[in-house]
Structure 1
Amino acid sequence: MAVDGAVLQAVLKAYTFVLLWMSVSISVILFNKWLLAYSGFPFPIALTMWHMTFCSTIGFICIRVLKLVKSHNMSPKDYLQRVMPIGILYAASLWLSNSAYLYLSVSFIQMTKSLMPGLVYACGVALGTEQYQWSSAANMLLIAFGVVVCALGEANLVMKGLAQQLIALLFEAARLTLVQILMNSKGLAMNPLQSLYYVSPACLMGLALPFVLVEAQTFFTNPPVIYPSVFIANALAAFALNLAVFLLIGKTSALTMNIAGVIKDWMLIFFSFYLFHAPVTRLNLFGYAFCCTGVGIYNYQKLQLLRKKALQKTKEPAAMADQEAATTNGNQNGKTQASKD
């Protein structure tokens, strides 16, 4: 009974983190869509810069003032080589993905995000962190076909928004791959507060030039009406999402997040339809079913790979113990034979 109670408690805790992440993520996406497309603030770069300014301030206070988390004490050279490329890619991804909300519905944007596993896999193959496999490539083509069908069925498709969203996904896939190469492989894995402290300022610097070139003139010529409470709430929601992602992966796994993400996307399609009256066609849903099938196969392949690696890890100590025992027995037999001689 005690074992059953512990299992039940673990399951409830996992579901709690899943529901927390899904709720915060959905809230942030719908909040950003409303702010950019309906509230009279069509400035995605300025909004992203505000998020990064807020997150950089929180990170600085937590690490340098309150000392809640230790810093990695990077040298300026390490920061430029390891963090700045990630920050610039993150800036481009956030800028373009937020810009897409001006032209595309939330439901269609979520459908295009099904491409992420394929893009991460392609970037991994290109940069040497993944091995090419025909089965994985065929699965990614299945997902891509589903997204094409979704686009064909989109009632209010704007090519500029679609291009921005696809390029944003490509930048995000490259960022995730570079995190693995430049940070994780060097033992510089970061928790959310460390990520805010290091990556947010780099992202903010990466957004400065696009803001000057694209939005600054309009922003300062016809400044929008800004309600501080709304923007503080929006920034707090973005900060809460960072924490929710960390808690979900830390307490469950990245695979759980991928599976929960599919459910979250279906919920966002529903909310987008009823809140913003974004039309969803049967062809949209048919294409997205293809995407979900491909993502499901991808998650299954990842699960099998994780199980295979775990099995190999358990076999390796046993094999080493057997080898050591055989070596010891061989040495003992050799000594016995020598004493007889």
Structure 2
Amino acid sequence: MGKGGSLSGGVLRKILLSYAYVGIWIFLSFTVIVFNKYILDRKLYGWPYPISLTLIHMSFCSALAFLLINVFHLVDPVSISRELFLTSVVPIGALYSLSLWLSNSAYIYLSVSFIQMLKALMPVAVYSIGVALRKDAFNTRTMVNMLSISLGVAVAAYGEAKFDAWGVTLQLGALVFEATRLVMIQILLSSKGINLNPITSLYYIAPCCFVFLLVPWVLVEYPILRDNSSFHLDFWVFGANAFCAFALNLAVFLLVGKTSALTMNVAGVVKDWLLIAFSWSIIKDMVTPINLFGYALAFLGVGYYNYLKLQALKAKEAQKKAAPEGNDEEAGQLLEVRELEGTGEKKAFQT
């Protein structure tokens, strides 16, 4: 009973911790999305400057990542050569800056619920770009699944009560850039044995994003902010928003590191439904029956996609047991990258 009780207690503790990590990630992801919507929506806080908001996130995250690595030494640094930085990190930073700019801009035009429905297209974008760049092999069954997800999102868009073509264009553009970034991470970094956790990702990529966003900010938003003498930056609002964005990256590190990226996929689906319910009941966004029917179709497609990934995970685990011990770590790292690519959620580095 002693050993059995100890084992049961250990298993129970592990299960409870896993649920805690999932709960923390859902809460922070939920908070960041709603917080960004609150700030950017003209009818709420009324500060429609997505580039400026993203610059605040990048500067805050860059500073904290620098302190955690170089001052407090809470995270081990990852050494990256100048050549690798210029050829790999900089392009990934450029793609991510575009993704963040467009995705934050979409909150000005679209409801939270509809944006979450459009995000169901992330597996479609990642798979399509992976095939186009010859990183993934074309598979008829997978493509049929991708088409079913696309059909569900199209039905949801058809039923959207406040459809805005420009907002949809911004969100789809953000998905394309984000999917490209995820594929490029595997091509440019993971294939070279470079694996960045959320803090080291922030350390290298956040400053790149900040620099790339400065040009459009100077041209587009700075003149408006300069002439708007009535605007005063609310330290508590924007500071809390930036801190939540940073904390979300830590939650990603805990969730993926202590459970798995597949768990994150499932948690992401739960979060999406919660956001849709919140958007409808609290923010009072209109969610139509056709919206829900279309998203349900996409949800089934994403669920089947996750099921296939689970089967692939089991097959990979079987291969790992049969493979020499030296190959275990590499196989696990590659598998985790592939799992993360499937959702676009978390990945490292979210705002």
TM-score for both structures, normalised by structure 2: 0.88
Q: Distance in 2 between matches of 1:112 and 1:54?
A: 28
Decide whether aligned partners of structure 1 residues 316 and 227 sit closer, same or farther in structure 2, where only a CA change above 3 A counts: closer
- 1:152 maps to 2:161: no
- 1:304 maps to 2:308: no
Q: Distance in 2 between matches of 1:14 and 1:259?
A: 13
One-letter code aligned to 2:297: F
Q: Distance in 2 between matches of 1:103 and 1:51?
A: 21
Q: Distance in 2 between matches of 1:69 and 1:19?
A: 24
Structure 2 counterpart of 1:36, from 36, 40, 43:
40
Deviation at 1:13, TM superposition (A): 1.0
Q: Distance in 2 between matches of 1:42 and 1:297?
A: 37
Deviation at 1:180, TM superposition (A): 1.2
Which shows bigger deviation, 256-265 or 205-214? 205-214
State the Cα deviation string for residues 283-330 of structure 1 (Å, max 9, x = none): 000000001100000000001111112212323459xxxxxxxxxxxx
- 1:25 maps to 2:29: yes
Residue 104 of structure 1 is matched in structure 2 by: 110
Which shows bigger deviation, 307-316 or 158-167? 307-316
State the Cα deviation string for residues 83-129 of structure 1 (Å, max 9, x = none): 11111111000100000000000000000110111111112222232
One-letter code aligned to 1:275: I
One-letter code aligned to 2:115: I
Residue 240 of structure 1 is matched in structure 2 by: 247
Q: Secondary structure of 2:76's match? A: coil
Residue 192 of structure 2 is matched in structure 1 by: 186
- 1:258 maps to 2:256: no
Aligned residues: 318
Residue 329 of structure 1 is matched in structure 2 by: none
Q: Which runs of 5+ in 1 are unaligned?
A: 319-341
Structure 1 counterpart of 2:274, from 267, 279, 294:
267
Structure 1 counterpart of 2:95, from 77, 80, 89:
89
Percent identity between matched residues is: 52
Deviation at 1:211, TM superposition (A): 1.1
Residue 290 of structure 2 is matched in structure 1 by: 283
Residue 133 of structure 1 is matched in structure 2 by: 139
Residue 342 of structure 2 is matched in structure 1 by: none
RMSD of Structure 2 on Structure 1 (CA): 1.4
State the Cα deviation string for residues 183-207 of structure 1 (Å, max 9, x = none): 1221221122211110100111111
Which shows bigger deviation, 236-245 or 57-66? 57-66
Structure 1 counterpart of 2:237, from 206, 211, 230:
230
Q: Secondary structure of 1:193's match? A: helix
One-letter code aligned to 1:3: L
State the Cα deviation string for residues 21-46 of structure 1 (Å, max 9, x = none): 00011011101100110212110000
Q: Distance in 2 between matches of 1:228 and 1:14?
A: 34
Q: Distance in 2 between matches of 1:49 and 1:10?
A: 38
Deviation at 1:218, TM superposition (A): 1.2
Structure with larger Rg: 1
TM-score for both structures, normalised by structure 1: 0.90
Q: Distance in 2 between matches of 1:172 and 1:94?
A: 8
One-letter code aligned to 1:145: L
Residue 328 of structure 1 is matched in structure 2 by: none
State the Cα deviation string for residues 236-257 of structure 1 (Å, max 9, x = none): 0000101111110111111110
Structure 2 counterpart of 1:48, from 22, 46, 54:
54
Structure 2 counterpart of 1:66, from 48, 72, 78:
72
